[in-house]
Amino acid sequence: MAAIAWIVLCFEHNLVTIKCYPTTKNQFPEDGLDKSRFPHIEPHIHSKPNLILNMTKCSFCLPKKINDGPLLTSYSLPKLKERIRYECPVLPIVSIGTPAAVIEELGPLVLPPLYHEAMNPVLKGDILDRIQYCFPYLADSTQRQQLETDLVVIELPRREWPAPATNSIACFSVDTAVEEHGPHLPLATDTLQSYAVLDQLQKRFPELVIAPPVEYGHLTWGLPFGLSIDITPGLLIQYVAGYVDALMNWLQPSGLYVVDVHGSIVHRNAIQEGIRISGCEHNKFRWLHEPLVQFSGERGDQHAGGVETALVELISHDLIDQTIFPDQMNTLARGQMHMDQACELSQDMPEFVTQVEDSLDSPQPLNGIVGDIENYDYVDAREMLQRMWNVASDDVEQLLAEIQGD
């Protein structure tokens, strides 16, 4: 990649304003799952028809179908590699509340936005420098040197978009949405899981307003494979703090509930520190995969393997590349990396990059999965998502009690 092209658009968009998020007074049934929204759900979900979460109508962008549309995070690692050879990715800088339609029209491959209100000029410059260093491939890597397309930064003018009505709590995720998840899952796999939980959580708690996500964070394993962005813990702390303060100012909630699926300990600590130094008094944070450790970490299935594949499939079959999965599961398994090896190589990033790039010309290249895709046959997506909902539900109850007690 040669350089960053920076475009500042000095005009106003005469577009529709943000819509209020719909709320409902329907509660979860005793088992915590709203079956009226999941009419096809069965205990053995893998063999059943597609199960689609009806995502809350939000004012931000979430992929709906893998390898389709302008959202860069909709694409899998190999499909995005193909497209990015010829099309320049666009990084938007926008105001909080900018409608998804505005963002999606900015280019053929649009990265998640950065928000004016969350950054001062110094932080903005540092984050852009870091993004250019990482994306689409690490600086000085062979894949980076072979690429000729540029990263285009489009900065829209600051604008105060109307805020949806906020009853009590605003919730959002801080995930690494620009992180490869192998040949069969979209980059935004983590964010999709977080918002599936938040969307269902809002059915039980009308006090919740679902806010736009923070889609950049700290990661390691995705960097050698490419098409992944790490903004470092120090930058993440500052950006989260700025975003929290901006969101509090925009929505005026009584508290914040912040979630994460990505799960890196360093990433989680940075999120919590950013929240701590912000001006938000009432808040809770949750790593949503915490109740899934026995299915993931303890089985060496941490990234883009069986656990995440099952969960994304539960959200929507359209988010899985069905030309690859499940028919090519054996091929996927041959190209995956063991979690212990990834942890060891994370201490030596140049060597990690070398091993990945050296494998690209081999009969079986490493494919970006760090885990065990065959674990898919031994997990129940319904049970896992249920566990995530249950801990989140407990968190919100405690946060509401704290707010009401003041």
Rounded Cα gap, residues 391 and 374, in angstroms: 27
Q: pLDDT band for 331, please (50, 70, 90 cuts).
A: very high
Does 28 have pLDDT greater than 70? no
Question: Which string of DSSP letters, residue by residue, matches 191-240?
Answer: HHHHHHHHHHHHHH-TTEEEPPPB--B--STTTTTSS--B--HHHHHHHH
Q: pLDDT band for 26, please (50, 70, 90 cuts).
A: very low
The confidence score (pLDDT) of residue 27 equals 32
Q: Long-range pairs for 332-335 at CB < 8 Å and ≥24 separation?
A: 332/182, 332/183, 332/184, 332/367, 332/369, 332/373, 333/372, 333/373, 333/374, 334/364, 335/183, 335/364, 335/365, 335/366, 335/367, 335/369
Q: pLDDT band for 308, please (50, 70, 90 cuts).
A: very high
Interval 386-398: pLDDT, tens:
999 999 999 999 9
Average pLDDT of the residues of the chain: 88
Could you give the domains of the chain? 4-12+20-405 (3.40.50.10310)
The confidence score (pLDDT) of residue 358 equals 97
The confidence score (pLDDT) of residue 37 equals 32
Q: pLDDT band for 263, please (50, 70, 90 cuts).
A: confident
Q: pLDDT band for 9, please (50, 70, 90 cuts).
A: low
Across 33-42, 54-63, 94-103, 360-369, least confident range? 33-42
Q: What percent of the chain lies above the pLDDT cut of 70?
A: 86
The confidence score (pLDDT) of residue 15 equals 30
Interval 63-92: pLDDT, tens:
999 999 999 999 999 999 999 999 999 999
Across 16-20, 151-155, 334-338, least confident range? 16-20
The confidence score (pLDDT) of residue 59 equals 63
**What mean pLDDT comes out for the span 370-376?**
97
The confidence score (pLDDT) of residue 365 equals 97
Interval 38-61: pLDDT, tens:
333 333 334 443 434 444 444 678
Rounded Cα gap, residues 78 and 227, in angstroms: 10
The confidence score (pLDDT) of residue 168 equals 87
